[in-house]
Amino acid sequence: MDIRYRRPRGTRDVLLEEMERWRWCEERWREVLERYGFGEIRTPLIEPTDLFTRAVGSGTDIVDKEMYSFETKGGEQITLRPEATASVVRAYLENGLTRQPGTLKFYYLGPMFRYDRPQAGRYRQFHQVGVEAIGSPSPVLDAEVIRTALALFEAVDAEGLTVQVNTIGCPECRPGYVAELQAWARGRAEGFCETCRARLEINPLRLFDCKVESCRDLLGGMRPISEAVCGACRDHHAALRTSLAAMDVGATEDPSLVRGLDYYTRTTFEISARQDLRQSALCGGGRYDGLVEQCGGPPTPAVGFSLGVERTLRHLYPEEFDPQLSRQSPVDVYMACLGQPAMIHALAHAELLRGVCRVEVDTTGRGVKAQMKGAHARGARLVLIAGDDELAAGKFQMKDLNDGHQREVAGDGLLAAVREVLGS
């Protein structure tokens, strides 16, 4: 076959059976999120480019290398969202929600776009389920948000996960540390990879993102930011640990966890799969107390996370998905039709039956044997056969695939007969 079009690199088609897994997870996640007090928000997939450049930060991989940005015919600079935190904050401000008292808790589920190097677990279009809790500075909320993330994993029976936490300070204490780090790294610039040499000039904290062994070894000689934060940040972190312990959440300190986005203050965290070190972060988040103000709002503390849906599903089902095994969605009643008039006769009755069960009308025009096979493949309990004779008499042959029993049913008694067998 000469297929003319292929999906863009780094994107996936989610088919039939795999789609069922997605829906199963999504249903459970919605339930959990609502139990934790989050309400759904949907923001556009496109936003002004400047929103991400400012919120996520220039000097980050996302902004410098990974954004799908373009100019519209009207001359607007637009970006396909690489993440949703900035969008939620934009929506919070634009819809006047700053006047609402208390903490506002949003959740979202949807596609994100990053022009990253595709590999297993890393895509250019991927999906996140995430939360943003806006309005409270309390470390207790940080702990509750981390607990929410774990509840999402528990809801889909994900096991073998670990929580890493860190503190990366605030505008009071971070600049001093960053200056110290920069001076220290400049003195050792030769030892760092090329990317890190650029990082140390533009955004020194990003040095901690580097995966190159020699850079990591070298950085081991510098005290981590968690040891340099101010007293208030230290207290915040201690209270976070106490709150996590109160909920029996075990978390390890990871001093190199600075996260790849610039808006974080104080708490950062990730949840990872222990076994699989490549693309092992299934979920990441943290506190971002400066972002609302940076986007033009009043000073407003906030905290959130996003969980990668594809990575979580790969963790749950590590075997490669084979679309050959895919099947169509199951039905209760399969209507096998011989000829177009019979199909129309069946279609009219299918409308009635669909009020109580799932119905497929076979319009392929293939032989009855092949249609019976189709009925088995779809898991149907009942087959209703309509040919010329049945059409003329306004009837159907009804076959129960459980016991093979077949009988004739009049059109006006069809609904009752089907309901009796299905118990619906």
Q: Give the residues lining the site for ligand HAM (CB under 6 A).
A: 83, 85, 114, 116, 122-123, 126, 128, 130, 132, 260-261, 281-286, 288, 304-306, 308, 310-311
- The total of other beta-carbon atoms located within 10 Å of residue 97's CB is 15
3-class SS shares of the chain: helix, strand, coil, % to 5: 40, 20, 35
Q: Nearer Cβ to ligand HAM, position 284 or 290?
A: 284
Q: Nearer Cβ to ligand HAM, position 236 or 399?
A: 236
- Residue facing ligand HAM at closest CB distance: 308
Q: Nearer Cβ to ligand HAM, position 10 or 191?
A: 10
CA distance 138 to 39: 20
Q: Nearer Cβ to ligand HAM, position 49 or 371?
A: 49
CA distance 84 to 90: 10
**Closest CB 101 distance from ligand HAM, rounded Å:** 22
What is the 8-class DSSP label of residue 122? B
- The total of other beta-carbon atoms located within 10 Å of residue 139's CB is 23
**Closest CB 282 distance from ligand HAM, rounded Å:** 5
305 neighbors 283 (Cβ within 8 angstroms): yes
Q: Nearer Cβ to ligand HAM, position 132 or 262?
A: 132
**Closest CB 126 distance from ligand HAM, rounded Å:** 3
What single-letter amino acid sits at 57? G
Q: Nearer Cβ to ligand HAM, position 127 or 345?
A: 127
**Closest CB 84 distance from ligand HAM, rounded Å:** 6
**Closest CB 82 distance from ligand HAM, rounded Å:** 7
Q: What is the DSSP string of 126-188?
A: EEEEEEEEES---HHHHHHHHHHHHHHHHHTT--SEEEEEEE---TTTHHHHHHHHHHHHHTT
| Cβ-based neighbours of 400, under 8 Å, separated by 6 or more | 381, 382, 406, 421
CA distance 34 to 40: 9
What is the 8-class DSSP label of residue 351? H
**Closest CB 114 distance from ligand HAM, rounded Å:** 5
**Closest CB 118 distance from ligand HAM, rounded Å:** 8
Q: Nearer Cβ to ligand HAM, position 81 or 174?
A: 81
- The total of other beta-carbon atoms located within 10 Å of residue 221's CB is 9
